[in-house]
Amino acid sequence: MRSDAWPIRELADAAILVDVVDRDGRLVWMNAAEAALLQRDAAGVAVEDVYADGSAESLRAVLAGGAAPADASVLWLRTAQGREVPVLASLVPDGDGGLVVLKQPAAAAAGVEQEIGERVEILTEMIGEATDACWCIEFLVPVDTTMAEDDVVDAVFGHPQRWRACNEAMARLYGLPPDLDFNDQPVSRYFPRSPVNEGMVRALIRAGYRLDRAVAVDHRHDGEEMLVENDFRAAIRGDRLVRLWGTVRDIGPMRRREEELEARADVMLDVLSAVPDPILVVDADGLLIAANPAVERLWGWPVERLLGAPVGNRLDARAIREAAETGGRTDVVVAGAGTWRIHAAPIEGTRRRFVATARPVRARRPVREAAE
């Protein structure tokens, strides 16, 4: 339907809000009701001057050849004072590559505004009461994501930015004094530029601005370094990064515990490697879980290849399990290596596993022969 087929004169004084956007994304006409709401006659300006960012993008997408929504959808108009007003809009192609945008007046859309307000209130309460530390960084100068990676990294750390919607859990995690609001603090105080944090931002860029379990080194309020793990999400408008948000966890204690366990495991491996007797671990199904070098040296087992495989054709794994469960010992025949005395015990844990040590059973010499 062409714009000249519309009864423009009748719509000029209608209560609904009407404007016409040409194929280049510029308003060529608006009616009196819309001009009154915006408190200006914005004919001749780009859609971005009249519609809020996301709404302008939606109009541009339709002008570029996208399908217009079949039903009325919510758009946001921007007044001369910068106030954003929600409206219910229907988009009608005008036949010249442009659009006629019909919108209900603000009073009719009050229910939508109330619904959106209630949703914002609910989300704010949910974030505020969450036990996870939630954060958002808003870039006051959006970052051009089409730049080279090095330039994007520079912009992420260098562009003016601020915290938004950080909750109480975030303040507790970073040790903020109770009389301070985290959202009023400088971003760089807690998220400084460093080689580790630069690497995290590079990983975020390469992941398409959606990244989980990203490790960074942040600073607490007192300046102490803190190893953290972030789940990242991003708001990108067109090709501009306007916000990053996510959750963060202090993984320092967990990492130290892992390092302690790894150190203990290394020590145990060194000890077990030095033990001359075969030591092996099997599970309830007779699968080989671990073995020390003596198993390979004395029994000729290719341990690396056998890990995770059943040992039933080389020794009786059931005998190991029974000895572990009864607290006793038993003799087993190891294929190609003779008879060995097994001492076994269960390993604590949710998975049933058993550790066994072995020593060779030597044949007794006759008494007379021994006496001679």
User: Tell me, what CATH number does 32's domain have?
Assistant: 3.30.450.20
Question: Is residue 134 domain-shared with residue 80, that is, in the same domain?
Answer: no
Residue range 187-202, pLDDT digits in tens = 999 999 999 999 999 9
Q: Tell me, yes or no, whether 236 and 301 share the same domain.
A: no
Q: Which residue, among 22, 14, 33, has the nearest Cα to 99 in the 3D structure?
A: 22
Would residue 335 count as lying in a domain?
yes
Whether this prediction's pTM lies above 0.75 is answered by no
Which domain-ending residue is among 223, 254, 285? 254
Domain that holds residue 39: 3-111
Last residue in a domain, options 53, 79, 111? 111
Q: Which of 254, 283, 302 is the last residue of a domain?
A: 254
Q: Is residue 354 part of a domain?
A: yes
Is 87 within 8 Å of 79 (Cβ atoms)?
no
Residues 177 and 224 in one domain: yes
Q: Phi first, then psi: give them for residue 9, nearest 5 degrees.
A: -65, -40
More confident residue, 364 or 82: 82
Is residue 125 in some structural domain? Answer: no
Q: At what angle do helices 195-206 and 149-158 cross, to 10 degrees?
A: 120
Residues 146 and 182 in one domain: yes
CB atoms within 10 A of CB 144: 14
In a domain, 49, yes or no: yes
The number of distinct structural domains making up the chain is 3
Query: Cα separation of 11 and 35, whole Å?
Result: 13
Q: Given pLDDT bands bounded at 50, 70 and 90, which one contains residue 345?
A: confident
In a domain, 344, yes or no: yes
Residues 205 and 289 in one domain: no
Look at residue 216 and tell me if it is in a domain. Answer: yes
How would you list the strands of the sheet with 99-103, edge to edge? 27-30, 17-21, 99-103, 84-93, 73-78
Is residue 315 domain-shared with residue 343, that is, in the same domain?
yes
Distance between CA 61 and CA 276 in Å, rounded?
74
Condensed to tens digits (0 to 9), the pLDDT of residues 303-325 reads 888 888 888 788 888 888 888 88
Per-residue confidence at 3, pLDDT binned at 50, 70, 90? Answer: very low
230 and 319 in a single domain? The answer is no
Q: Residue 367 domain-assigned?
A: no
Please say if the pLDDT value at position 328 is more than 70: yes
In this structure, the answer to whether residues 185 and 77 fall within a common structural domain is no
Q: What percent of the chain has pLDDT over 90?
A: 31
Determine, yes or no, domain membership for 259.
no
Are residue 249 and residue 288 in the same domain, yes or no?
no
24 touches 43 (CB < 8 A): no
